[in-house]
Structure 1
Amino acid sequence: MLNIPKTTEKSFADGKILKSVADGVGIIIFNNPEKRNAMSLDMWEGLGSALIELRDDPDVRVVIMVGAGDKAFVSGADISQFEETRHNAEASEEYSKRSAAQRALLADYPKPTIACIRGFCLGGGMQVAMLADIRIAAENSQFGIPAAKLGIAYGYDGLRHLVSLVGPSWARLLMYTGMRIDSAEAGRIGLVDRVVPEAELWSATTDIARTISGNAPLAIQAAKITIAQVLKDPDKRNMAAIKAIGTACMDSEDFREGRQAFMEKRKPQFKGR
């Protein structure tokens, strides 16, 4: 089991989404282990509520998402709900609308996000992981999108993120076959950023999170905003937003603190302003 601290814990979706904060790091746990953390609509909505609270918490500088138990990050959508919620095109459209706000929230999240992945990361789990800024995976993880095996049309946003990570050829292979790949392959094709032994997964993830948390929040925000604009078509890029955050950085107290700490050979104390 991962040694996840549970200070200031709060639950959503009848306890299937847990939120905690430790040392400037927000933690969201997908807590449905009996179903390998399969995502229900309530869990999507609970995820959104947890993300909003961590977004609005000034003490939180980075957010980790992780699955409970030792079997899965998120094994996909809760298929037991499909007969009720996704039995035809109209119902599927309504399902997508209800989860769209949470996906959009994660896609445009202002703070860095990390997916800490162990075990199965399939379908909707891939969607969550791909929306994170950084993906750290245990060696025993498995990845795949079995939409073709279920007769599901995977959405534009999910495939856009997949193609941006692995390229169109690997996206076709994964989508056409519904195949699963292991962590080594996922790392090789760029689907995950780092693969570590299972016993080291949580410490490796929190080390990265603490490093991010100790850096200047405005500088990280500038990087996040600029990278997001780079990924857009040229005619849709918001260059004014890039200029605005750049100006905010260079005029910030943190920039002065960074310079002064360097000269004084001490660790800077950034305030995010």
Structure 2
Amino acid sequence: MPHGQIRSNHVNGLAWATLFQPAKLNALSLAMWQQVPDAIARAEADPLVRAIVMTGEGEKAFSAGADIGQFADQRSGEAAVLVYEEAVSAAFHAVLHAGKPTIALIRGVCFGGGFALSLCCDLRYAREDARFRIPAARLGLGYASANVDVMVRKLGLGAASELLLTARAIDSAEALRLGAVQRLWPAGSFDAEAAKALQAIAQNAPLTLRAMKAALNECVTLEANRNFANADRLVEACFRSADYREGQAAFKEKREPDFKGE
């Protein structure tokens, strides 16, 4: 496994996609970028999966960013650069347009392409030791427009400009303030709190989550290209579902609902 991999594991309603190259702080190799869409597709196809979780192997990093050690071979020359950028764009597209909720769990370093990949997720939950940075301007490399687009979508133009143009690192508290993460926990309680938050999502009505995801995806599409027809069809399906009837019954009976995605 010289160039890392995305390790997939489906358990308790969650599909885990783990960035695995711990010797390089889970730096993303070309092979890893290429494996992201497959991991998302497997999660989408599994009827038992309610949500998709992306994380990094170990305690030190979500990801240090792109694997700079590969740049001489994989990002030099027009053809090689095109292959690499297409792989990154495909990975971003797969996560951004997943039909199921996507959550990034972030410990330690979350830099460069790893930071951008986490921003493709719907939610980001971080440990207090997490650090975030887009160092492209200090490396002299071109930062693909797909990466910039993701940052502006998720953070707004001002915050994205600040992080891109200064190349400075920010701590987890500033990341929370900027909206780069939604929830933050100390190291001692991170695993337990994150597990509770993930299960809370996984226990929600799957058809409702899918309809919400479709609408959310359209909301970040250019206004001229928006089409809410599919999202509206999914909303209608919710009201015809057994889960809708179960939700109503559970509310009346003052108990937790048991949703089946049907």
Q: Same fold (TM over 0.5)?
A: yes
1:266 has 2:255 as partner: yes
- Spell out, residue by residue over 1:34-91, the C-alpha distance to the aligned partner (whole angstroms, 9 max, x if none): 1000000111222332222222111111111111122110110000100001124442
1:48 aligns with 2:44: no
Question: Paired residue for 1:102, among 91, 94, 109?
Answer: 91
Moved more, 233-242 or 205-214: 233-242
Contact (CA 8 Å) 1:138, 1:198: kept in 2 or not?
A: yes
1:99 CA displacement:
3.3
User: Which whole-Å CA distance do the structure 1 matches of 2:65 and 2:180 have between them?
Assistant: 17
Shift of 1:136: 0.5
For residue 207 of structure 1, what is the aligned residue in structure 2? 196
- The DSSP-based 3-state class of the residue aligned with 1:238 is coil
Aligned equivalent of 2:112, options 100, 117, 123: 123
Please say if 1:186 is aligned against 2:193.
no
Q: How far apart, CA to CA, are the structure 2 residues paired with 1:210 and 1:114?
A: 12
Structure 1's unaligned 5+ residue stretches are 1-11
Could you give the per-residue CA deviations for residues 141-171 of structure 1, whole angstroms, max 9, x where no partner exists? Answer: 1101111111222222221221223221221
Pick from 131, 135, 157 the counterpart of residue 142 of structure 1.
Answer: 131
Counterpart-to-counterpart distance in 2, 1:28 and 1:200: 22
- How far is the alpha carbon of 1:101 from its aligned partner? 2.3
Give 1:80's aligned residue.
Answer: 69
Cα distance change on mapping 1:13 and 1:19 into 2, 3 Å: farther
Question: Where does the alignment leave 5 or more consecutive residues of structure 2 unmatched?
Answer: none
**Deviations 1:20-41, CA, capped at 9 Å, x for gaps:** 1221111121121110000001
Is this contact kept in 2: 1:19–1:27, CA < 8 A?
yes
Secondary structure of the corresponding residue to residue 203 of structure 1: helix
Aligned to 1:236: 225
Say which SS state the counterpart of residue 156 (structure 2) adopts.
Answer: helix
Task: Please say which of residues 214-223 and 147-156 is displaced more in the overlay.
Answer: 147-156
Match of 2:243 in 1: 254
Counterpart AA for 1:96: E
Cα distance between partner residues in 2 of 1:14 and 1:149: 24
| Aligned amino acid, residue 155 of structure 1 | A
Backbone CA RMSD of aligned residues: 1.7
Is residue 26–residue 63 contact of structure 1 (8 Å, CA) maintained in 2? yes
2:15 is paired with a residue whose SS is: strand
Q: What is the identity percentage for the equivalent residue pairs of Structure 1 and Structure 2?
A: 37
Residue 49 of structure 2 corresponds to 60
Which among 163, 186, 204 is matched to residue 152 of structure 2?
163
- Where does residue 100 of structure 2 map in the other structure? 111
Give 1:15 deviation, angstroms.
6.4
Task: Kindly tell me the number of residue pairs found equivalent between the two proteins.
Answer: 262
Q: Which residue of 2 aligns with 1:23?
A: 12
